[in-house]
Every structure is written in C-alpha cells, then in structure tokens.
Amino acid sequence: MKRLDRYMLASYFRVFIFIFIAFICIFILVDLVEKIPQFLDNKLAFREIVHYYKLTIPWMAHWCFPVSALLATVFFFGQTNKFHELTAMKASGLSMYRLALPFLMTGFLLSIGSFFFEDRIVVPSQQNLSVFMANNMKLSSKSRSQMIYRQVYFQLPQDQVFTVQRYNTRSKKGRQAGLHTIVNGKITHRYDAQHVQWMDESQNWLMLNVQERVFDGAEFFSRHDTVVINIDVTPRELRSKTIKPENMTYNQLEEFIQRSKRLGMNTNRWESNLYFRTAMNFSCFLVILLGIPLVTFQTRSGGYGSGVAGALLLLFTFYVVLTLGKMLGIAGEIQPFWAVWIPNLIFLLIGLLLLIFVKK
C-alpha cells in the first residue's frame, strides 16, 4: 500500500470513527429517554441498566456501519475537493478510479466484517437480550409483536416434532399447528390442525379441525374435529425456550429453514430474512461506491450540506427499496433470494455508471 493510500485511509477512518461514536451516543440517549419509565416501573438497578445497554449496543453499532461509512465518504472527499487536494492528486496522474480503489476495497471488507459482526456478536447479544427482557422487564400488553411467536418448532422425545406457525401468548391459541413423528428422516405419522389451544384444566393441547396422515407403505388419511395431545411443552416453556428465527445465527436460521421445508411449512418469510442479512450487510460497499461520485460532482464552494442531504436520501432510498424487496419475497411474489438482491444489483449498476461519468 502506497503512502498516499495510507494517508487517505487514515484520514477517512478518523472521520468514520468520530461519526460512528456520535451515532452510538445518540442511539443510547434516545433509547434511554424512551426506556426510563420502563426501567423505573421494573425497579432495575444501575448495573442491570448497564447490562441492558451492553447487550443493546452491538445491534446499534451494526446499524451505524453503513451510515458512518457513507457520511465519512462524503466528508472526506468533500474536504479534499474543497481544499484542492483532489485536483492535485489528479494532476499528478492519478485517475479517480485509482483514488477510489482503496475506499472500495475498504467498503468490501467492511461489508464482510459487518456480516460476521452481526452473526457472531449481534445475534447472540439479541438472544441474551430477549432472555433479560423476559426476566427483568414487563412486556407492554399493547405490543402485538411481543405477544406473537411465529414458526415455533420443538423437538420432542420419541422422534416427534411439534410446530405452530403463529402462537399468541395472551390467548394461548395458535394457528397451523402440527405434531409429526419422524423416523430416519422420514415422516411416518402427522397431525395437521388449523388451530391449537392450551387447556389449563387438563394441561394438554387441543387441536381443532385436524387432518391425520399415516405413512405405512401406503398413505392413510382421516379427519377429526378435535384431537387432544399430551406433550412435554407448556406455554411457559414455549415462551422461554423458543428462539425467534430473526434472533438465530445464519447457520441456525438456514438449518431452521431446511427443517421447516421437510415439514411442509412455508419458508418464504425466513428465506427472505436469511438473504436479507447478506444483502443488507453489502450496503457498506454500495454506499461508498455511490458516495464517491456523489461528492465529486459537487462544486468546491457548495459546502457539505447538499452532500450530506443527498447521502442520507440515498441511504434512505436504498433501505426502502431493499425492505420492499424483502416484503415481496415474504409474500411469494418474487423468489426470496432475488427479491432482496435485485435492489443491490440495481444500486451497484447505478454506482458504477456514476463512477464512469465522474470527472477523471
């Protein structure tokens, strides 16, 4: 690496770290103001609040990576353009492509690092945070997302698997439930119910509108209005032991999807979440690719305001389009992989075109 590259990257990372820390502080301050009533209601000690933010900061940091990368690009290239450093480097024979190369490589490495940071640090922290919230902080009864569990999966003794596609912790009722017996990787017996509910009196699950299939050489099919199943799973265990798929690591989620497919469950939602992780983490590279020509198109007297506004608008648009693609993947309108990667490919093409037309 040449001395000029080291100088540019050192200047870039000074700005990156400053912006990164500033955003983390803003995140914590806003969250603290919002959570203070909840902390007081649950009488949390200072060390418990510190532990809460210890588990929350990795998630905050992960979302700050692309924003910091983009704004650092805007400020660094805006500064070099304003003080004629960019002009001097071009006059010495360096093309804009050559000047952009170390930053694009940095963006690529940041994208890879962001993926592994999310998988190895953020996801385990979120799992521990869910346990901490369940044990120390009362959940708001108004929050439906905290009452609903989706794609519940329990491995039981005697080669049985209990699944519920959607379970409401308040009503203790669920939809699209199944009890499957799997021997040597093959389903030999299965109950599939449109509804399931927990019966406090008998401590059993009641399945409603049930289809029963037995696979013993030939398939035997029957229908039942109700089936009572006695399994070693209670609503309390369901809440405490179930890891939400969005809080799984990449490998855990991939395995969960494969298991769900074998059980005949619709996996569009979780496949879209799986591919969204890689697509979203690629944003560190994309925002740098788009940010460099965005800034160099500015005049030196224009200041940073338009560059910062344009950068944030660009990032917001990217997230909106990426989220829209994810929703189309969940709905099954587009294959989950292409639903979240087509927006990345579109913005990649836009960034390359802008880089081509920028002043060399």
Confidence of residue 142 (pLDDT cuts 50, 70, 90): very low
Residue pair 259/245 in contact (Cβ under 8 Å)? The answer is no
Helix/strand/coil (H/E/C) assignment for every residue in the chain = CCHHHHHHHHHHHHHHHHHHHHHHHHHHHHHHHHHHHHHHHCCCCHHHHHHHHHHHHHHHHHHHHHHHHHHHHHHHHHHHHHCCHHHHHHHCCCCHHHHHHHHHHHHHHHHHHHHHHHHHHHHHHHHHHHHHHHHHCCCCCCCHHHHEEEEEEEEECCCEEEEEEEEECCCCEEEEEEEEEEECCEEEEEEEEEEEEEECCCCEEEEEEEEEEEEECEEEEEEEEEEEECCCCCHHHHHHHCCCHHHCCHHHHHHHHHHHHHCCCCCHHHHHHHHHHHHHHCHHHHHHHHHHHHHHCCCHHHCCHHHHHHHHHHHHHHHHHHHHHHHHHHHCCCCHHHHHHHHHHHHHHHHHHHHHHCCC
The model's pLDDT over 55-71, given as tens digits with 9 standing for 90+, comes to: 999 999 999 999 999 99
| Confidence (pLDDT) at 153 | 79
Give the domain ranges of the chain: 3-138+273-357, 158-231
Mean pLDDT of 307-317: 79
Mean pLDDT of 331-358: 90
User: Is a pLDDT exceeding 60 seen at residue 302?
Assistant: no
Any idea what the Cα angle at residue 311 is, between residues 352 and 55, rounded to 5°? 110
Q: Percentage of the chain surpassing pLDDT 70?
A: 91
Confidence of residue 138 (pLDDT cuts 50, 70, 90): low
| Confidence (pLDDT) at 116 | 95
Name the CA dihedral angle for 348, 354, 356, 360, rounded to a multiple of 10 degrees.
Answer: -130
Report residue 212: phi and psi, to 5°: -115, 135
Q: Which residues are CB-neighbours of 87 under 8 A, at least 6 positions away?
A: 81
Of 44-48, 174-178, 294-298, the least confident: 294-298
| Confidence (pLDDT) at 108 | 95
Task: Please classify residue 61 by burial: count the beta carbons closer than 10 Å to its beta carbon, then call 0-12 exposed, 13-18 middle and 19+ buried.
Answer: buried
Any idea what the Cα angle at residue 110 is, between residues 8 and 88, rounded to 5°? 20
The model's pLDDT over 322-339, given as tens digits with 9 standing for 90+, comes to: 999 999 998 889 999 999
Confidence of residue 141 (pLDDT cuts 50, 70, 90): very low
Distance, CA of 162 to CA of 197 (rounded, Å) = 13
Mean pLDDT of 238-247: 66
Question: What length does the chain have?
Answer: 360
| Confidence (pLDDT) at 257 | 85
Query: Is 0.95 topped by the overall pTM?
Result: no
User: Is a pLDDT exceeding 50 seen at residue 39?
Assistant: yes
